């Protein structure tokens, strides 16, 4: 209830405290990590899979491998194209500074329809 004749006293204003912004840490430059290994990825996926394959999107298998390998800063990864074992071996013999990784997919024709019958 309000009483007549009395004023509500206002509290004294609080002094503004000036805050000094905290200095942001200077980001240290990242060291340039030189890749330790060079890998050439070649694939033999399309020719090794038939049209009745149970493996989803077999044509993308090599790109999944490339993506995963490229996530490492210790690897220099490049795609060497479609190839077979013979061509991959030739590339490896001619390459003195790189390893060659052949990505192949094959199906186990003797596995039942409910089994995961694709192998990498």
Q: What is the pTM of this model?
A: 0.57
Residue 31 has pLDDT above 90, yes or no: no
Range(s) of the domain holding residue 95: 37-109
Asked if residue 2 belongs to a domain, the reply is no
16 by Cβ neighbours in 10 Å (0-12 / 13-18 / 19+) ranks as: exposed
Asked if residue 20 belongs to a domain, the reply is no
Asked if residue 84 belongs to a domain, the reply is yes
pLDDT in tens, 77-118: 999 999 899 999 999 999 999 999 999 877 666 665 555 555
* Number of domains within the chain: 1
Asked if residue 97 belongs to a domain, the reply is yes
| Band (35; pLDDT cuts 50, 70, 90) | confident
Q: Strands, E, within 1-120: which ranges?
A: 37-44, 75-82, 99-104, 106-107, 118-119
């Amino acid at each position: 209830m309000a009483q007549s004749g009395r004023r509500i006293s206002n509290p004294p204003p609080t002094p503004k405290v000036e805050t000094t912004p905290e200095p942001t840490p200077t980001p240290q430059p990242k060291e340039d990590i030189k890749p330790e290994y060079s890998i050439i990825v070649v694939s033999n996926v399309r020719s090794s899979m038939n049209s009745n394959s149970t493996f989803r999107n077999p044509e993308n298998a090599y790109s999944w491998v490339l993506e995963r390998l490229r996530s490492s800063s210790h690897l220099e990864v490049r795609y060497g194209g479609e190839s077979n074992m013979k061509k991959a071996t030739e590339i490896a013999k001619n390459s003195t500074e790189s390893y060659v990784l052949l990505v192949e997919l094959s199906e186990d024709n003797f596995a039942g329809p409910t089994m995961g019958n694709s192998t990498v």
